[in-house]
Amino acid sequence: MKKKIIDNLTTIFYALIIALIIRSFLFQPFYIPSSSMEPNLLVGDRLFVSKYSYGYSRHSLPFSPKIYNKRIFDKIPKRGDVIVFKTPADNRTDYIKRLIGMPGDTVQIINKDLYINDVKVIKKEITNSIYINCGNEALDAIFFEETLPNNTKYVAAYRKEGTMMNSDKFTVPKDHYFFMGDNRDCSKDSRYLSSVGYVSFNNLVGKARLIFFSNDKNKGSFFKFWKLHQSLRFDRFFKKIR
């Protein structure tokens, strides 16, 4: 009996070690709790983030232990990547946004248009007047396909009435990055210097790769399992994130 208990504990120990290695160095699951990345990521999406994409820092490990203040095996992220990072305010909270500005770039919104290094980002209207979530509120929005300077394309939503007309001109410091949510009028991101601002390279956790599960909590949950099937978004299962 004693040997069986020891064998079981040993198996559990090794399983935890393997899970820790996978989570720290390969892939980590994340849950989308807010609508800041709509229409591309929805509340209730569960996704895998690759931890190796940009190398490793202390934020690659659970609880971000202060054992090393640089990155190893570092790789430069690409403009347009959807990235999980630790917020500079507390180095603890996970945010997910799209990388818009590289070190040395200037970023500004002028007359509702996004400018990078004083060049307007190409924006093509896809649909006019469609509702998009912002917390418990539904916003009347316009969807645009934006094309960044490196030809990365994605869909961004702008509020039809009351969208941000103009912003300050932001200059991204060395070894830092500028992030924005795709739901432009419902995202706390690098435009808000006091709460997010410029994000250090060391704060990058990983690149969002794949949605592996998604459900609408308003239609069902694990606690209401008899309604769970109504909430499942099967069309989002195993969807690649762009």
Give the percent of the chain with pLDDT over 90.
67
Q: Using one digit for the tens of pLDDT, what is the confidence trace for 81-124? A: 999 999 998 999 999 999 999 999 999 999 999 999 999 999 99
The domain ranges of the chain are: 2-240
Place of tokens 């347009």: 80
**Beta partners for 83?**
97, 207
Instruction: Give me the mean pLDDT over the 10-36 stretch.
Output: 84
Query: Which is the catalytic residue, given 51, 86, 97, 207?
Result: 97
pTM for this prediction: 0.89
Strand-pair category, 82-86 with 94-101: antiparallel
Q: Is 221 one of the annotated active-site residues of the chain?
A: no
Is 97 among the catalytic positions?
yes
Q: What angle do CA 198, 203, 204 make, to 5 degrees?
A: 100
Kind and range of the H or E run holding 126: strand 122-134
Distance in angstroms (rounded) separating the CA atoms of residues 125 and 110:
17
Query: Rounded to whole angstroms, how far apart are CA atoms 154 and 67?
Result: 37
What's residue 64's pLDDT?
A: 87
Write down the residue that tokens 């971000």 correspond to.
64
In terms of Cα–Cα distance, which of 72, 67, 64, 68 is closest to 90? 64
**pLDDT tens per residue, range 181-204:** 999 999 999 999 988 999 999 999
Token digits of residue 185 = 């009028």
CATH (residue range 2-240)? 2.10.109.10
Q: Is 146 exposed, middle or buried (0-12, 13-18, 19+ CB in 10 A)?
A: buried
- Active-site residue identified among 36, 60, 187, 190: 36
- Are 114 and 101 contacting, i.e. CB atoms less than 8 angstroms apart? no
| Mean pLDDT on 42-50 | 96
What is the pLDDT at residue 7? 60
